[in-house]
Amino acid sequence: MKIGFLGLGQMGAPIALNLIKAGHELMVWNRSSVKTGPLIAAGARAVKDPQDCANQDVVFSILSDDQAVENIVFGAKGLLKNPRPAIHITMSTISPGLVDCMTAAHRSHGGDLVSAPVFGRPAAAQAAKLFIIAAGAENSLDRCEALFSIIGQRTIRVGAAPQAANIVKLCGNFMIMSAVESLAEAMTLAKKSGVDKKTLLKALTSTIFTAPLYETYGQILIDQSFKPAGFSAPLGLKDMKLVSQVAEINQTPMPFLGILRDHILSVIAQEGEEVDWSAIAQVVEKAAAAY
């Protein structure tokens, strides 16, 4: 399949590479062209602007925020400048409102939009072990299925409205961050009560908290390995802001969310932007004078 791929960051680059390895022909673009090097080496063709990808069968995009996505779709050199009945697969964690807006725009040009954000950190992207949360028109989802199976270990369809995938993704990120916060509070309590973090973590993960995320983040919290960031605090803040926006539009009070936002603001204030979002654990420890 002829595929356009926009965004070659920590997540995009390994996903694109997996598509190439599977035999697909890729046309790639990144805001800073420096990152296209390894993809060209692997056989991709770099293009100058997002619009140059518009005549592919499918265009993937995975970018950092709403503004970046707006730009590659609606911008002066965006996809809509050169529309064709292609499917745009948006994998970015962006606002459901923007997804709605993009869906309408693509359809008005005969194309379609599938929203397919993912769960998984860069290592999972490399290993093609991502979980893909997909939503959109059923026939469009069917057409993408084979591509998804190349880059992920599982695809879960969550509805016909593309924005549903983004709502699920945001809920998931909110819950991951809640899990990290609760683990951080428990570990701090344990430590100050004379039970070391490692003992606590083992007791929890070998009984009821068997999801790998507790293992992964628990180890990060024990090692305080917050730098370099796997998923940076500013990205975490961005996601919590998106959750806030959806909560506000839908008038949903979320008391845990307020705390998460505060802790991530605090960690950025104290540590700067180059730190993992799980460093909210440090905020918890400092408040207890346990750091």
Query: Which positions from 142 through 201 interact with its own copies, judged by CB under 8 A?
Result: 154, 156, 158-159, 161, 164, 167-168, 171-172, 174-176, 178-179, 181-183, 185-190, 192-195, 199-200
User: Do the strands 58-61 and 45-46 form a parallel or antiparallel pair, or are they unpaired?
Assistant: unpaired
Q: Rule CB under 8 A: say whether 212 interacts with its own copies.
A: yes
Residue 242 CB, nearest distance to its own copies (Å)?
11
Q: Rule CB under 8 A: say whether 241 interacts with its own copies.
A: yes
The CA distance from 287 to 280, in Å, is: 11
Q: Rule CB under 8 A: say whether 255 interacts with its own copies.
A: yes
Asked whether the beta carbons of 73 and 49 are under 8 A apart, the reply is no
Cβ-based nearer residue to its own copies, 4 or 162: 162
> Would residue 286 show up in a list of annotated catalytic residues for this protein?
no
Q: Rule CB under 8 A: say whether 126 interacts with its own copies.
A: no
List the x/- string, 61-100, binding to its own copies by CB under 8 A. -----------------------------------x----
197: its two tokens: 């973090």
Candidates 6, 39, 69, 204; binder of its own copies (CB under 8 A) is 204
213: its two tokens: 């995320």
174-204 burial: b if 16+ Cβ within 10 Å, else e: bebbebbbebbbbbbebeeeeeebeebbeeb
Residue 48 burial by Cβ neighbours in a 10 Å radius (0-12, 13-18, 19+): exposed
3: its two tokens: 């595929």
Q: Calculate the CA 145 to chain-centre distance.
A: 19
Candidates 42, 150, 213, 222; binder of its own copies (CB under 8 A) is 213
Q: Which 20-59 positions form the footprint of its own copies (CB under 8 A)?
A: none
Residue 49 CB, nearest distance to its own copies (Å)?
29
251: its two tokens: 């008038």
Candidates 32, 208, 223, 228; binder of its own copies (CB under 8 A) is 208
Residue 46 CB, nearest distance to its own copies (Å)?
33
Catalytic residue chosen out of the listed positions 129, 169, 197, 241: 169
- The residue count for binding its own copies (CB under 8 A) is 79
* HEC secondary structure over 96-127: HHHHHHHHHHHHHCCCEEEECCEECCHHHHHC
Q: Which 261-290 positions form the footprint of its own copies (CB under 8 A)?
A: 261-263, 265-266, 268-270, 283-284, 286-290
Q: Which 102-121 positions form the footprint of its own copies (CB under 8 A)?
A: 119
Residue 50 CB, nearest distance to its own copies (Å)?
29
Q: Which residues are catalytic?
A: 169
